[in-house]
Chain A
Amino acid sequence: MVSEEEVLRIAELADIGIGKEELPPFTRDFNAILDYFAVLDRVPAGEGWKAEIANVLREDEVTPSLPREEVLALADAAEDGYIRAPRVM
């Protein structure tokens, strides 16, 4: 059983944002789903799934980059060729 506090902690880790009124239904659904996942406890021990092919590589060759106007046009805010983001300091 996962508590509302635990769901809040995970939401913070996921940077997902969660409203006060959402928390009870989210927690309820979360627990129902985790209950269902409990079936995994019955999985026999063994190796995990793994890819079958290896060493898929490309040669070190330069290909054209995107035109800068197209890159900056995608972003909401550009400044001197940079893309703007909220502050991190």
Chain B
Amino acid sequence: MTATGGAAAAGSGLMAADVSRETVTGGLKAASGGRDTVIIGLEVHCQLNTASKLFCGCSTDYRSDPPNTHVCPTCMGLPGSLPAMNRRAVEYALRVAKALNCRVAEEAEFARKNYFYPDLPKGFQITMYNRPLAEGGYLDIEGNEGEKRVRITRIHLEEDPGRLVHMGTPDRPRYTLVDYNRSGIPLIEIVTEPDLRSPKEARRLLNGLRTTLEYLGVFDGDREGALRVDANISIPGSERVEVKNISSYKGVEKALTFEIARQKGVIRRGQKVQRETRHFVEARGVTTSARSKEQEHDYRYFTEPDLRPLQVRDWVEGIALPELPAARRERFMAQYGISPEHARTLCGELRLAEFFEEMAPCGNPLLAATWVADTLQGELNYREMEIGKVPPSHFRELLEILCRKELTDTAAVEVLRRMLDQCLKGGEVQSPAQIMEKNMLGKTAGDAFTNVVREVIAECGDAVRDYRAGRGEALNFLVGQVMKRTRGRADPKELTRILRDELARQGT
């Protein structure tokens, strides 16, 4: 049993005569030039996080539910059902259009894209064709050579098809199972010009889009299958190849890297790279050729007669955008004095940026930036954990303790690790102070800590005598002993002072 997460890509995407594609083709030719230039354009489909579907009232919260439990006459395509447009989906798409600096259409309209596939309950997909919501925008990303402006060709809304499960094996397919829960989920399609020059840039663009959409509050990139990408790619001497079915951020880079290597190999062998559509097989990290029949489709677009056009110029003007990633980066640097690198990392993910802003008042924003952007991120990545699972109050307490210099860096990392492990396990999560106490991780001379010092003084009579005899290196030995017993969590400088004080106290 193999599931196609990207049935939308497989379905919605088996196209030949798409407006967007034509634009991309034109651009590809115009843009090709340099000998080693890779030319990439993307079509990005993102599920908008509305409460109900695009054309019916079924809930979009289907991921943890059994198949075919979020369906109604409309999203099942029952005879006589009609679509009714979700206002919030349009609002969200307009926010994206505005944030990506697009020209919003005077009037947009939905059209039917006709093709037969079992994931498409009506035998057509309601999408936008020659009158999309918006055109001609851009997004700035960090490119191969510094800041880079990637042009956005167009943005439109469409409905997601259902999900297919293929029974049997690729060699002996048996039949298909269909789940229509996903059918009718609102998708926004963002098409870029062929301005990208490497798989890495493609991934950065995706990350940029994701961040922007999350800042706008219209998208949740953590949800499985929320993002699907088709990529158009060509290298010098090859025809344009379309790679479909990419459904993750890493997948884009992988698929394109594979495709470049494949095309170079084909050229090296003296063969021609065919103009074709290929599918990305995520599990194997390869692209495979799609059947040629899929490229012969004629989608017979026409205006959707059951819906009315959208006049959105005034609407979009009334939309107030929240602070976007670029603006937030600038503000973080100005307001908190943090480095551009830290600002980029922190603002690259909405929840990370918000988390940092909760931490910044801990007393030292620079320290907070380092700890959130570097230390915490590293620990989270190691655990494949999301920032949302970290209790902000606990982390802030940890930073405050650090600011008060009551904990060494090493010990603070130890506290953090224990805290994260507890978060991951679920159940009660102890506060940093509790963890410190329980594990004797505090830097200050707490009782337990002073006891260790006293123990060492009592047990190492020779060294104490040597110290009193004026042999300075004996103090180093004693410090080492305490460090050993407290497993390195004591601050050596501080410890030296405490030892000296204690010896002086006992000596009188």
Contacts and interface: CB of A to CB of B under 8 A. Distances in A.
Interface of A: 13, 15, 50-51, 53-66, 68, 71-72, 74, 79-89
A13 B296 CA distance: 10
B307 A87 contact: no
A88 B116 CA distance: 11
B85 to A, nearest CB: 5
A64 B53 CA distance: 12
Given A60-B88, A62-B58, A83-B177, A71 B51 contact: no
B52 A83 contact: no
Contacts of A66: 71-73, 76
B176 A87 contact: yes
Interface in B91-123: 107, 116-118
Nearest to B311: A54
A15 B118 CA distance: 13
Contacts of A87: 166-168, 173-176
Given A62-B58, A66-B71, A88 B311 contact: no
B66 A68 contact: yes
A84 B177 contact: yes
Interface centre among A50, A59, A85 (most CB of B within 10 A): A85
A84 B166 CA distance: 10
Given A85-B175, A87-B175, A61 B51 contact: yes
Contacts of B66: 68, 81
Nearest to B180: A83
B177 A80 contact: yes
B57 A62 contact: yes
Contacts, number: 120
B178 interface: yes
Given A55-B311, A57-B87, A62-B51, 14 more contacts: A13-B298, A54-B308, A58-B86, A61-B51, A65-B69, A66-B76, A71-B68, A71-B71, A72-B68, A81-B67, A84-B176, A85-B176, A88-B166, A88-B176
9 contacts: A57-B84, A58-B87, A62-B57, A64-B57, A65-B58, A72-B68, A83-B68, A83-B179, A88-B176
A53 B307 CA distance: 10
Contacts of B117: 88
A58 B54 CA distance: 10
Interface centre among B50, B117, B308 (most CB of A within 10 A): B308
Contacts of A57: 84-87, 90
B461 interface: no
Interface residues of B, number: 49
Contacts of A81: 66-69, 179
B273 interface: no
B507 interface: no
Contacts of B72: 63-66
Contacts of B267: none
A86 B307 contact: no
A53 B66 CA distance: 39
Contact of B58 (A15, A63, A79, A88): A63
A82 B178 contact: yes
Given A55-B310, A83-B180, A65 B50 contact: no
B165 interface: yes
A59 B262 CA distance: 48
Contacts of B308: 51, 53-56
Contacts of A59: 87-88
Interface in B165-222: 165-168, 170, 173-180
Given A62-B51, A88-B118, A71 B76 contact: yes
A82 B76 contact: no
Interface in B46-87: 50-52, 56-59, 66-73, 76, 78, 84-87
Contacts of B76: 66, 71
Contacts of A68: 66, 68-69
B164 interface: yes
B482 interface: no
Nearest to B177: A82
Contact of B175 (A58, A65, A86): A86
B89 interface: yes
A50 B331 CA distance: 48
B488 interface: no
